Amino acid sequence: MAVLAAAQLLDELMGRHRNVAPNEKVKSTDWEDPEFCKFFMVKFCPHDLFVNTRADLGPCIKTHDEEAKKLFQDAKKNHHKKIQYQEDFIRFCSSMINEVEKKIIKGRQRLALSGKNVLAVTNPQQAEKNQEQINILNERINELEKEAEEAGTDGNVEQAQGLMKLCDQLKEERDALKKAELGHLNLTAQLAVEQEKQMEVCEVCGAFLIVGDAQQRIDDHLMGKQHMGYMRLKKALEEIIEVVKEAKEPKKYIRDKERERFNDRDTRRDREKDKVNARERDRSRSELGEKDRRMDTERKNKERDREREQVRDVELRDGKRERDRERERRHRSDREDRHRHHHHHHSHRHRH
């Protein structure tokens, strides 16, 4: 294997024909030659991703050749063998992604259960609940085992296997709960559990991470071979799936893309609508403020009116007094006039 790896390295550095003498005729490269690694030509070889990590796939036994890769890339989109290679790549990467996804789910379950452990340890009521849960799980496990047995004797192998898998999951859950009960007695277990509580599962590679870890360690993880490897796998998988879709059904692919764009536009429009709604909400809120202000001015106006009324009352009163005085004055002068008349009359008569 080491020799093979060294040969590969030399191939990559100096070209595949490094051993060919200058006067020897070089056989032209054919990418369909089975000696070439399909994965390497499609995108990259997964064997190169996890070298010296726990996910190491070991060295690839095929040749990684840049020239063949270029020829492959230049081949027509709908070349049936090209599509076949791409589909092989999709299958291989999918199975790797599925594996890591399972690992992620398992890791999460583990952390969730250890979270429950802490509760069980600190809370006797929770411990009681756990015991109940264990009993329920035991019942369910027995039922499932019976069902699986029946399915097996009926020849439904797949169903039986599915049931057994479910059964195993429930058993795991039950065992974790049992451990939680033990944790009640075991201080070291409690500490371990509490340490585990501060962990999370990386959504990309399934590694356990410490929440709030130092930036340097976070960076080391993100740049690590395992994390980067799964990242590249996921991206490449998405990309090649699209490439194959387009190659196999170009018309449908274009239709789908257009629909996607349309939906994107719809969601954009919805988002725009949301924005408008938010603006309207703001406006009605400020209208409310406006209303408050209006009520305020109304109150002020009323106050002013009341003041005016009071003033008018005073004015009216004053006016009345004024008028009264006026009337008195007039009355007095009338009397005086009459008096004068009278005198006049008198004098006149006297003159007669």
Using CB under 5 A as the criterion, which residues of the chain lie in contact with Zn ion when the complex forms? Answer: 37, 40, 45, 47, 60, 62, 202, 204-205, 207, 227
Neighbours of 132 (CB within 10 A): 11
**DSSP bridge partners of 209:** 200
Q: How many CB atoms lie within 10 A of CB 128?
A: 11
Shortest distance (Å) from residue 174 CB to Zn ion: 30
Q: How far is the CB of 282 from Zn ion (least distance, A)?
A: 42
Smallest separation, CB 187 to Zn ion (Å): 32
177 or 201: CB nearest Zn ion: 201
Closest distance between Zn ion and the C-beta of residue 17, in Å?
19
User: Which distant-in-sequence residues (6+ apart) come within 8 Å of 142 by Cβ?
Assistant: none
Cβ proximity to Zn ion: between 116 and 221 the closer is 221
Between CA 349 and CA 291 the distance in angstroms is 82
Q: Which is nearer to Zn ion, 22 or 58 (CB)?
A: 58
**In this complex, which beta carbon is closest to Zn ion, that of residue 62 or of residue 110?**
62
Nearer Cβ to Zn ion, position 59 or 152? 59
DSSP 114-162: HHHHHHHHH-HHHHHHHHHHHHHHHHHHHHHHHHHHHHHHTT-HHHHHH
**In this complex, which beta carbon is closest to Zn ion, that of residue 176 or of residue 205?**
205
C-beta of 245: minimal distance to Zn ion in Å? 24
Give the ranges where the chain is alpha helix by DSSP (H): 2-14, 38-42, 66-74, 80-122, 124-153, 157-183, 187-197, 215-223, 225-248, 250-351
Alpha carbon of residue 94 to chain centroid = 23
Measured from the CB of residue 5, what is the shortest distance to Zn ion in angstroms? 12
